[in-house]
Structure formats: C-alpha cells, structure tokens
Amino acid sequence: MFETLTDKLQRAFKNLRGQGKLTAEHLDAALGEIREALLEGDVNLGVADEFIAHVREKALGSDVLLQLSPDQQVVKIVRDELAELLGREAKPQFGSRPPSVWLICGLQGSGKTTSTGKLGKWLAEHGHRPIVVSTDVYRPAAREQLAQVAKATGTHCWPGTGTDKPVEIVRGAVREAKLSASDVILVDTAGRLHIDDELMNELSTLKRELNPTEILFVADAMIGQDAVRSAGEFHKRLGVTGIILTKMDGDARGGAALSIRKVTGAPVKFVGVGEKYDALEPFVPDRIVGRILGMGDVLGLIEKAQKNIDEKQAREMERKLRENEFTLADFRDQLQQIRKMGSMEQLMGMLPKVGPFAKIPKDAQIDEKQLKSTEAIINSMTAAHRARQRHHRAGSEPGAEAVRGHAQDDEAVRQHGEDENARPRQARGAEMTIR
C-alpha cells in the first residue's frame, strides 16, 4: 500500500544510525530525504512542507539533541506527526432512527458501484441489514450492475423499476427499507467524467430529500492528487462526511491517503484493498502509520486470522503437529485457510520489517499458482494416502517436494503391484476432491 514511501523513509532513518548525537546538520539531511520521500509518494506539496516544519520544530528541542539514539527519536517524532496528519479514526455514523441513509458519490470510474456492494457486505457482517439502490439513470445498465453486485454479496437491492427519476427511486427505496426492516440504505448515485453543475444539483436534491447521515465520496487512489482535488470540490459543494479510497492495493505511493484529510477536511473512513467484495477495510490511522514506517499491521493480521481461521480447528492442528500426527490432508486444509485471508503479498505487507522479516526481499514475487498446484496434487491422491503421515524436522511443514514424493510413491505402488487390495484407478477417482 505504501511501499515507495516506506522504502524512502527507511533509508532516511538508516542514515541517522551510528550518529552519537542528533545535530542540526544530521537533522537537515534526514528531513531533506523525508521531504523527498513524501513528494515522491505523491503527498501534497503544502502538506509535505508543513509536516517537515513540525518535525523540525519538535526535533530541535534541547532534550532531543542529547539523545544517544537519534534515528529512534526521529522515528518517534515522525510517527507522532503522521498520526496527527491522519487524525483520529472516524467511525461510520448511523441515525438515531432507522433507516440511516448513506449517499455514495464520486466521479465515473472511481469504483462507486463496487464500493457500494462492499459496504453492504461489510455492514451485514457487522450486524446491520442494508439495502442498496442505484439512482444512476444515465449510464447504460448501471442499475443492473448494482443488482448483480448485490446478488454476489447477498445484499437486498431495490431495483427502482418503472421510473427514471432519482428522487422517486429513492422514495421507493425508503418505503422498501421500512417494510423489510432494513436499517441502512446505500444510495449509489450517478457519476460524471468531471465535476459539473448538473451533477451537483442532482446530488443536492437527493441530500435534501434523504437527509443522509453519511455522504461518502469514493476516490480512486491511483490518480493521486487529482483524487484529493476532486474530494475537496465535492466537500465544498456537498458537505462530504467521509471518503472511501479505492484501489489502494495497486497504489505503491499512497500519497492521497496522507493528503486528503488535511486538504479537504473530510476524514478517510474506508479503503479498498482488493477486487473481492470482502476487500474493504475501515481506515485506522494508527495502523496505517505503522505500515508506512515499516512496523507492519500485526493487529490487522490477527483480525484477519480470527475472521477466517476456525480456532477449534487451529488447536487441533497444533495438537497434531506436536504429536507428529500432521498429514497431507491437514496441510491442504492449512493452505485453504491461508488463502481465505487474502493474497500472500498482502499478508506479507502486514508483517513488520524487522527481525526475521527484515530479510524478506522487497521485490519478492510469490506465485499463488504454486499453492493451488500443491493443493491439486494432494487432492489427486486417495484418501488413504492423504492420511499417511510423513516425518519432518521439528517446526517444518511438507512442501511441494514432499507432496510430489507422495505422488511418486503412489505411482510406484501401482506399477509394482505392491498394493494387492488396490482398486482400479477409475474407482478410486470417485474419492478425489475437486475444489
């Protein structure tokens, strides 16, 4: 998410290591590199200069100059200033009387419809009963697209058929929400290729009609400062209450996330970190700061594990490992659980860049197909062979070579006829699990 910025900051901090004291000369050199890192990370120029000024002011205190660990002291100051820049966590708001209305707005191509579906899934997972509706009567098949997204996420959708007037569509959605006991209405509004008066007038009309508790602007993080400027214009004319940054998994710079609150005054509330419908995360500033400084997001990783891994099954796996009863079937189940948590690249990005993880190459490419291939090899075995135990060194797990070894053993058994009770391959094939 912030690979470029993280690498540059780490380089600046590294140059301070080995210095006995933090002098003005050392600080100027480090702050110059930090400023360069922020600008290359696509942080707004005014925000970057103000950030550097605050860090310099705090770092030049008399107590700091006597510190024996200048790099750690500067890291602490930078961390505090980043936290101040991002602000506190802004949690979603709900009305005192349901249904609450969330107005989703933004330019075309920013990901409004997909984000609406992701929000519906996120709300359902957190105990709410959302309903989605599209007022985009201009783009061909826009309402049908939202209906398909809602179907994929299991979210109730109000089609709004029979009318092409946005106000009448949302009135029908409000009636349906009350009848179906839905407590949140997600309104996917029309977008434009650019900001114009017609778009803003329509959004203002919907705002007066619905009195929404949230007006969320969807911004594409890939376009950097253009997203910040668009968000600022929407906030000025509409009163945006929060921002959803999409495509953060593809933006290695991430400067929009650091600039957007300071420039617009509206907090970031959600970030899209993938194409899947569950790839939406609340924006937690403390954790984002940790990622930027290479400290990882261990709490976020733990939450993913708790969400996707069954605790009872995990304890059983631990017991089998301790008692040397771990089988290839168990190894396959572990692979499936890890894949549920997200891509390996995303999971590794949440690890702190210290200790044993510091040696992981920055450009390490993880081939997800290898995991699927290993799983397919295990599935091609009979249930009896999957249950066969293979001894390993303490702490190790069977890899692809061990799996292929089992497959070769099976082939040897078939060729030499050592398994007298073996059934024909056609019969055994019924036992294979195709996933």
Say if CB 133 and CB 170 are below 8 A apart. yes
pLDDT at 138: 85
Identity (one letter) of the amino acid at 162? G
Name the DSSP class of 295: -
pLDDT at 4: 66
DSSP3 helix / strand / coil % (the chain, rounded to 5): 55, 10, 35
Name the DSSP class of 327: B
Give per-residue burial for 319-348: e unless 16+ CB within 10 Å, then b: eeeeeeebbbbbbbbbbebeeebbbbebbe
Instruction: Report if pTM > 0.85.
Output: no
pLDDT at 428: 40
Distance of CA 164 to the CA centre of its chain: 35
Q: Which DSSP helix (H) or strand (E) runs through 394?
A: none
Residue 282: burial class (beta carbons within 10 Å; 0-12, 13-18, 19+): middle
| CA–CA gap between residue 26 and residue 59 (Å, rounded) | 11
| CA–CA gap between residue 428 and residue 46 (Å, rounded) | 68
| CA–CA gap between residue 56 and residue 61 (Å, rounded) | 9
pLDDT at 70: 64
Give residues with Cβ within 8 angstroms of 385, minimum separation 6. 328, 406, 409, 410
Say if CB 118 and CB 280 are below 8 A apart. yes
Token pair belonging to 64: 């700091």
Q: Is the peptide bond before 99 cis (omega within 30 degrees of 0)?
A: yes
Q: What is the pLDDT along the chain (435 residues), one digit of tens a residue?
A: 566 677 777 777 776 665 556 677 777 888 888 888 888 777 888 888 888 888 888 877 645 544 446 666 777 788 888 888 887 888 888 988 888 999 998 888 888 899 999 999 999 988 899 999 999 888 888 889 999 999 999 999 988 888 888 899 999 999 999 999 999 999 998 887 677 788 888 888 888 888 899 999 888 877 777 778 888 888 888 888 888 888 777 655 567 777 888 888 888 889 888 888 888 888 888 777 777 766 555 666 666 676 667 778 778 888 888 888 888 888 888 887 777 777 776 676 666 655 555 556 555 566 777 778 888 888 888 877 777 655 444 444 444 455 455 555 555 444 544 444 444 443 344 333 333
Residue with tokens 């959302």: 130
pLDDT at 67: 46
Give per-residue burial for 382-410: e unless 16+ CB within 10 Å, then b: beebbeeeeeeeeeeebeeebbeebeeeb
pLDDT at 128: 92
Answer positive or negative: Cα dihedral of 51, 34, 300, 269: positive
Classify 391 as helix, strand or coil. coil
Distance of CA 251 to the CA centre of its chain: 12
pLDDT at 259: 80
Classify 53 as helix, strand or coil. helix
Classify 248 as helix, strand or coil. coil
| CA–CA gap between residue 212 and residue 45 (Å, rounded) | 33
Identity (one letter) of the amino acid at 75? V
| CA–CA gap between residue 315 and residue 327 (Å, rounded) | 15
pLDDT at 101: 92
